[in-house]
Amino acid sequence: MSFDPRVILALLLIFPGFVYAQTGSSSLPGRPPTDAPGSIRGHVVLPNGTPLAEAVKVNLKVLRGDQAITYTDQQGQFELNNLSAGQYTVEIDADRDGRFEFASEKVLVRRGGGPTLVTIYLKEKQSEGQTRASDKTISLAMLDQKVPSAAKREFDRASRLSGEGKSLESIEALRRAIAIYPDFLIAHNDLGAQLLEQEQFEEAAVELRAAIKIDPRAFNPQLNLGIVLVRQKNFQEAREVLEKALSLEPASPAAHLYAGMAAVGINQGDRGEREFKAAHDLGGSPYAIALLDLGQLYMKRGDREMALKSFESYLRESPHAANAAQVEKLIGMLR
């Protein structure tokens, strides 16, 4: 059968679950809701609100006991994919030097519709004879800030509500936290991330820019703003923001993935190809979506062999993806 890239590209527009728009499988942000399994995406932060800059153990538990174990990256982030709907407990074991208490958070996972977001605060252990910290403020030693306890309570409430799947209530709690303490960096970032999940891109960008203004070297707001800009098809600015994110965290597969999308959006196909490959090399099968994006890039070039190879690799790594049937159809046309 002859190969006509225009026919294949038309199929991409027919199947909405296969549109080139955003990173990740159904467990990564930006894809339309599907019936795919749920997931949990979280980050572990120090008592001062800054990301934990080391790998720590994350246990996922159900009533029967341990179900999965993973580790955070160097930004304190973790992701647990292919989860059935239900109630889970996420436990963080960060007590390597005896400084922190064992932390846990209950999380409700819903089937499809994107990941459940959760932020888990570590708590420092109190030594014998240590007086209790003032209820008025919580010292941010690393950032030389002080977060009022009322703002911290609202942030904790927002994290709990997000873990329960109550996104709108969580957003309102984050807004209250910021109203109390306008320089609350992690609250601006988390609010921006949740508004992004709700596809409220303009409001998300405002919050993420506010976070970056507070700390221009904070990685998460840079990445999240890059995601927002890609969703808005503002690819030129997205490329600049994501380059900054990669300068802060060169090994982030998500940043490479979005940078690839931004590059393709401004017709820098070679750069996009490199970024997609880096995303998959660094992230492995959770970033199989990079193979899908590579396949689409090769189709635009008219490279039948490479497109076929990419799509086949994608299905090997994501055989139960919501768009598997559509990808199989594309593979049939390419063979």
Reported as a pLDDT band with limits 50, 70 and 90, residue 126 is low
Extended beta strands in the chain, E state: 38-45, 57-62, 65-71, 77-83, 86-93, 103-109, 116-121, 137-140, 145-148
Which pLDDT score, from 0 to 100, does residue 281 have?
92
Reported as a pLDDT band with limits 50, 70 and 90, residue 321 is confident
Q: Tell me: the pLDDT tens digits for 61-83?
A: 765 555 677 778 767 788 887 77
Question: Cα angle vertex 269, ends 268, 275, to 5°?
Answer: 95
Structure tokens at 252: 């982030």
Least confident of 139-148, 175-184, 188-197, 301-310: 139-148
Q: Tell me: the pLDDT tens digits for 186-201?
A: 899 999 989 998 889 9
HSE-CB at 195 with a 13 A cutoff on CA atoms is 23
Which of 160, 153, 215, 211 lies closest to 187, judged by CA?
211
Q: Tell me: the pLDDT tens digits for 27-59?
A: 344 433 334 567 888 888 877 666 776 777 888
Q: What distance lies between CA 35 and its chain's CA centroid?
A: 19
Query: Could you count the other beta carbons within 10 Å of the beta carbon of residue 13?
Result: 10
pTM: 0.67
Tokens 């014998």, residue located = 128
Reported as a pLDDT band with limits 50, 70 and 90, residue 217 is confident
